[in-house]
Amino acid sequence: MGMWASVDAMWDFPAEKQIFGAVLLFSWTVYFWEAFLAQRQFILLFGGIPYLWRLSGRFCSSAGFGPEYEIIQSLVFLLLATLFSALTGLPWSLYNTFVIEEKHGFNHQTLEFFMKDAIKKFIVTQCILLPVSSLLLYIIKIGGDYFFIYAWLFTLVVSLVLVTIYADYIAPLFDKFTPLPEGKLKQEIEVMAKSIDFPLTKVYVVEGSKRSSHSNAYFYGFFKNKRIVLFDTLLEEYSVPNRENQEEPGMEPRNEGEGDSEEVTAKVKNKKQGCKNEEVLAVLGHELGHWKLGHTVKNIIISQMNSFLCFFLFAVLIGRRELFAAFGFYDSQPTLIGLLIIFQFIFSPYNEVLSFCLTVLSRRFEFQADAFAKKLGKAKDLYSALIKLNKDNLGFPVSDWLFSTWHYSHPPLLERLQALKNAKQD
């Protein structure tokens, strides 16, 4: 009765307080509903983790593997968990791709291509996840009192190997990489790389347009073997919409009374996309700034320091039976479940704080990379490139300062433009 009396009392408030109260109530309702629907909370609430572990144990038993084969049961658990995650996330991914992205003209995939891509990603993920996980669990089992050191070293080696082989062996499984043809752009990229002692060996163009019209650029490689990758959607002369517009006649004038959706679709289809060569060089100047200023190395060092700390704390906590009991494991303490509980749930407050600190650092690095591009004389071109990329990706230039501070790894567009505007004036 007390709760309903409080709700009834709201109607006695002035209209402005009723509106504020209704908005506040709705906001909290949405918050709790989304928290309830979140997969992690859903699984916790209904005991999904111990159930999945028992299910994986039954699969192992039917194959002749008893409880002593904990690593094999852990691999079955991982397979079932990732399969469950993929299947439950599939409807949202379909909606995002074929409704939201399609509505705004970004999606270039067919349903067949999407499903083949999803299956391929799942298989590649299992080919990496299962062997790495089995070796990690084995190291923890035999590592003795200092297993956390060996586990950390193993994950360090694995991460470096994956970074090394990803662009050459994994990414080509999903996208087509072709060398950037000889020409003015390639020559200017090589000259800029040489001017800052960047050990460039190859420049690739990736066919990202078959998947989406979003654009990107990055570099990879260790030591003297650096390579640059440009999305074809970043390059004005490579952009698929631009080539299609050159082949097709212009947009027909709309008759009065026709639906707005057709006009919007035509505008999306006929908009020009990508950056000019000078702007592409400015974007690369920003990316190379991350390398020259040591941002990549600093991020790796921070990541590995955090990884070592987490493994050390895991070694301290893994023996606490109450942690396992809290999640429904009263009779056993599987190592994989311990990793899951401690890294994903117990560390979650720490992870949130760390994520915010890394977000702040990332924004600082972005401003520094912009300043580096300015020193290369690219301020004007980077200014126009950022505007074009924001328009191509339908970004909204105005951001709430508090929301962007917590969530955005890159500074809002207007802040970056203001910094570059000052640079242009200088």
Q: Is the dihedral of CA 188, 189, 194, 197 positive or negative?
A: positive
Is 34 a residue of the active site?
no
Q: Please, are residues 210 and 108 in contact by the beta-carbon 8 Å criterion?
A: yes
Q: Please, are residues 285 and 372 in contact by the beta-carbon 8 Å criterion?
A: yes
Residue 216's SS3 state is coil
Q: According to DSSP H, which parts of 293-343 are helical? A: 295-317, 321-326, 335-340
Q: Please, are residues 145 and 312 in contact by the beta-carbon 8 Å criterion?
A: no
Q: According to DSSP H, which parts of 166-317 are helical? A: 184-195, 240-247, 260-270, 277-292, 295-317
Tokens encoding 232:
């074809």
Q: Which residue reads 């572990």 in tokens?
A: 53
Q: Among 70, 279, 287, 366, which one carries the catalytic annotation?
A: 287
Q: Please, are residues 211 and 233 in contact by the beta-carbon 8 Å criterion?
A: no
Distance CA 308, CA 16 (A): 53
Q: Which of 245, 234, 226 is nearest to 206 (CA)?
A: 234
Element (H, E) at 219: strand 217-220
Active site residues: 287
